[in-house]
Structure 1
Amino acid sequence: MSTLVALARAQAFAAGRAQPIATVRHLHVHDHPFVVIPLAMAGEANAPLAAMVGAAPDDPRLLVVAQPRNRAERFAFADALAGALVPYLTSFAGDTEAVAVDRGRDVRHRFVDAPQVWVPNTGGVDFLRLFGRSTRFRRVDGEYPVPPTVPLLGQWLTFLAGASEVPGSSLLLNAVQALGLHWATGQSGAEDAHLGSLLAWIESGAAAAREAESGPVAGPATDPDFDNRVLAPLISDGDPALTPVLRELLLPTWQRMWRTLALLRTLPAGERVAGRWDSDRDSYSSFVEHLAESGLPQPRRDGAVAAAARLQRLENAATRYAVQRAFDDPLVMAEYRLAGVAFGGVVTLANPDRVDDTGKRPVLRPRIMVATTETLRIEAGATLTSPARPAQKAKVISVTRTETGWDVLLELSGGMGRKLMAEPGTVPAVGEKLLLTTLSEAYRPGAAFPEPAETPWTHGGPPEPYSDPAQPDDDQPD
């Protein structure tokens, strides 16, 4: 937990109302999302009991498994879920747009939009991941066949669950995490996992949150007392009253999900949210293409090289997401300013026409002086970036102590045009307020990984040739 979030939690506790920890929305909220509220049977590994699904707040559809231990009923549930979810997911695979690649030398196509699925909490994401793993390898023929929609559903759920692991992705989102990214409450992190309580802190305050704590859960696990008193008799007797009971249980969470979406839409989207949604559309387009070409299910586990490459992509995405959130949001950047790796100041001197001719050819290298009163943990030689000019780099030439703070001398490069004279507005002018930080959105190239066949046998490569030490040499007698 960061210092500012801890302070916001203390303020929320004192005020009895959740406090904002973001000035913009850091995720994409679709105009037509799809909500899934899964419910699993307690004590069973991923045994679905029910799910409330739909793409409109006034049109919830309830899917129920009367006997979760019955294999046929569970796959009938998967078939029904596929009938509701898969048409929504594939409905965006229509119109495409051309995207320039390789610096304009080539072009590729992606869909102009992509789906977005919402679940109440991280447990809902885990449920979809496990349910996808348990269905994507099922056979549609032979012994114990399942409907053709079941393995297709499993592939889609696996794709969405994998996308949810990418920091900044908005293909599969959970309401608890989305709200916690933008508001801080006066309760514990464990209590924030209850959607009703978290939403009540934001909408009404602590008193309403205490009442919501005793309300119905958001799944996927049910309340043990509810299981013993209500569910167990209804399931064991095959009572048709099970459906209305489950509808009453899930309907409050369904309403809260749509209130969550409406609440998030009140925040303006961050400047870089659209770029991350473009990446989501790229992922969606690639997966649709994969289904059309081969349709093979995702492997049970990645090989060594694929796992290492995926880990690197996730690390790069996490770094990029943290930087983009800070660049988009002054409240997020404030944490870096407290740490001394970002500072705000005023330009006091500027030499926009300075040319460095010490190399083979002269290059434009303007210099500016920035005065700041903030704490600094930046030394000469460091490279800084300004969110206002992300393509421009500022090298720290010197840091000088003054009576009121610091004078930082910077040498600028990039983002000023290709001539020996800077384009208008590309060099900060005297009097301009500037925010500078060591954070950077610069592209981070991936590492070179070996081919799977070139890895050791311990990592999936070919085994070493075996030589039996007891085998006699050719020149020795038998």
Structure 2
Amino acid sequence: MSTLTAFARAQAVAFGQAQPIATVRHLHVHEHPLILIPLAMAGEANAPLAALIGTDRSAPRLLVVAQPRNRDDRFAFFAALAEILVPYLDSFATETEDVPVDRGKDVRQRYVDAPQLWVPNPGGVDFLRMLGRSTRFRTTDGEYPVPAGVPLLGRWLTFFAGTAEIPGSCLLLNAVQALGLHWATGQSSAEDAQLGVQLAWIESGAEAAREAENGPVAGPATDPEFDNRVLAPLIERSAPELPGVLRDLLLPTWERMWRVLDLLRRLPVGERVASRWTSDKDAFTAFTQYVADGGAPQPRRDGAVAAAARLQRLENAAARYAVQRAFDDPLVLAEYRLTGAAFAGTVTLANPDRVDDSGKRPVLRPRIMVRTTEEVRVEPGTSLTSPARPAQKAKVISVSPAGDGRDVLLELSGGMGRKLVAEPGSVPQVGERLVLTTLSEAYRPGGTLPDPAETPWTHGGPPSIEPDLQ
């Protein structure tokens, strides 16, 4: 937990109300998302019991497994889920747009929009991941055939569960983490996992949160007392009132999910959210085409090289997401100012026309002086970036004491045009307030990974050949 988040939690306790920890919304909220609230049977590995699903707030559809231990009932549930989910996904695979590639020399196609799935909590994401794993390898013929839509459902659920691991991706979101990204309650992160309590902290305060503690859970696990007292007898005698009981259990969470979306939509969206959603559209387009071309189901587990490549992508995405959030949100950037990775100051001197002619050709290298009263923990030669001009680099020339603060001399490069005269507004002027940080959105090239055939047999490569001792 960061310092500011800890302080916000303390304030939430003191005031009895959740506190904002973001000034903008850091995720994309779709105009037509699909809400999915899964419910699993306790004590059974990935045995679905019910799901409330839909895109219309006033018309959710309930899917129920009357006998969760019955294989036919479970796969009928999967087929019904596929009949709802797959057409929703297909509705986005229609209209395309041209995207320039290779510096405008060519174009590729991308769908103009992508679907978005919402579940209540991280447990819902894990449930979909396991559901995808248990269905994507099923066959529609042979000894144990399944309905045609079941394997396709499994592949899509596996795809969405994989995107949920990518920081900043918004194809599959859970309400608990989305709220926790923007508000801090007066309770622990573990207690925030109960959606009803977390939402009550934000909407009404601590008193309402205490009352919500005894409300229905948001799944996928059910309350043990409910299982023993209500659910088990109904399943045992295949009671016709089971769907009604489950609907009453899930409807409060259904309504809360839409209230979560309402809360998030009231926040102004961050500037870089659109670029991340564009990446999501690229991922959706690529997987749609892969499925249409008859691509094989995702493997049960990655090989050594594929796993390393995926880890590298996740690390790069996490670093990029952290920078983008900080550049979009002054409250997030304040965390870095506390640790010395950023500082704010005022421009006191500026030489926008300075040209460095010490090299083979002259280049524009303006210099500015920034006065700050904050701690500056950077050495000369460090490259800094301002969120106001992310394409421009500021090299630290010197840091010197000045009264009750420090003077930081910076040399600027990039983001000023291609001439020896800076474009208007590209160089900070005297009196301008700047925030400078070591964070950067610059491209981070990945490491070189070996071909799978060149790895040792312990990592999936060819087996070693022992010498013939005869």
**CA displacement, residues 51-73 of structure 1 (integer Å, 9 cap, x when unaligned):** 00000110110000000000000
Distance 1:297 1:239 in 2: 38
Shift in Å at residue 87 of structure 1? Answer: 0.6
Seq. identity, %: 76
CA distance in 2, matches of 1:304, 1:409: 47
C-alpha displacement of 1:452: 1.1
Partner of 1:475: none
The equivalent residue for 2:241 is 241
Alignment of 1:81-230 (within 5 A): 81-230=81-230
Residues 209-238 of structure 1 deviation map (CA, whole Å, 9 limit, x = unaligned): 111110000000000000000000000111
What amino acid maps onto 1:118 in structure 2?
W
Q: One-letter code of the match for 1:340?
A: G
1:152-195 per-residue CA deviation (whole Å, 9 max, x = no partner) reads 00000000000000000000000000000000000111110000
Query: Equivalent residue for 1:414?
Result: 414
SS of the residue 1:421 aligns to: coil
The match for 1:370 is: 370
Residues 405-448 of structure 1: CA deviation (Å, up to 9, x unaligned): 01000000111111111111111111111110000000111112
Alignment gaps of 5+ in structure 1? 472-478
One-letter identity of the residue aligned with 1:165 = E
Q: Following the alignment from structure 2 to structure 1, what is the Cα–Cα distance between the partners of residues 427 and 89?
A: 46
TM-score (norm: length of structure 1) = 0.97
The structural deviation recorded for 1:128 is 0.2
| Alignment partners' CA distance in 1, 2:447 and 2:108 | 24
CA–CA distance in structure 2, aligned partners of residues 108 and 406 of structure 1: 50
CA-based RMSD of the aligned residues comes to 0.7
Query: Which digits, 9 at most, give the CA deviation of each residue in 1:249-274, with x for residues without a partner?
Result: 00000000000001100001100000
Q: Deviations over 1:381-423 (max 9, x none)?
A: 1100001110100000000011120100000011111111111
Residues 259-338 of structure 1 aligned to structure 2 (within 5 Å):
259-338=259-338
Per the alignment, residue 395 of structure 2 pairs with: 395
Q: Which residue type is aligned with residue 381 of structure 1?
A: G
List per-residue Cα deviations over 1:74-120 (Å, max 9, x = no partner).
00000000011111011100111111122222221100000000000
Deviates more, 1:161-170 or 1:428-437: 428-437
Task: Name the TM-score, length of structure 2 as normaliser.
Answer: 0.99
Q: Partners in 2 of 1:282 and 1:97 — Cα distance?
A: 11
In the alignment, which residue of structure 2 is the partner of 1:47?
A: 47
Structure 1 counterpart SS, 2:321: helix
| CA distance in 1 between partners of 2:295 and 2:388 (Å) | 44
Q: Which amino acid aligns with 1:88?
A: Y
For residues 67 and 111 of structure 1, what CA distance do their matches in structure 2 show?
Answer: 40
**Secondary structure of the corresponding residue to residue 409 of structure 1:** strand
2:387 is the alignment partner of 1:382: no
Work out the CA distance in 2 between the residues paired with 1:89 and 1:212.
Answer: 34
Q: For residues 447 and 374 of structure 1, what CA distance do their matches in structure 2 show? A: 36
The C-alpha deviation readout for 1:276-304, integer Å capped at 9, x for no partner, is 00000000000000001123111111111
Structure 1 residue 466 displacement after superposition: 2.5
Post-superposition shift, 1:465?
2.1
- State the 1:319 CA deviation: 0.2
1:351-407 CA-to-partner distances (Å, cap 9, x unmatched) read 111111111111111100000111111111110000111010000000001112010
Q: Which residue of 1 aligns with 2:463?
A: 463
Distance 1:267 1:313 in 2: 29
Q: Which residue of 2 aligns with 1:27?
A: 27
Partner amino acid, structure 2, of 1:13: V
| Deviation digits for residues 20-60 of structure 1 (CA, Å, limit 9, x no counterpart) | 00000000000000000000000000000000000011011
Mapped partners of 1:274, 1:318: distance in 2: 17
- Secondary structure of 1:222's partner? coil
Query: What amino acid is aligned across from residue 8 of structure 1 in structure 2?
Result: A
Task: Give the partner amino acid of 1:55.
Answer: T
Matches of 2:445 and 2:188, distance apart in 1: 39
Instruction: Indicate the SS of the match to 2:49.
Output: strand
The one-letter code matched in structure 2 to 1:3 is T
Q: Deviation at 1:346?
A: 0.7
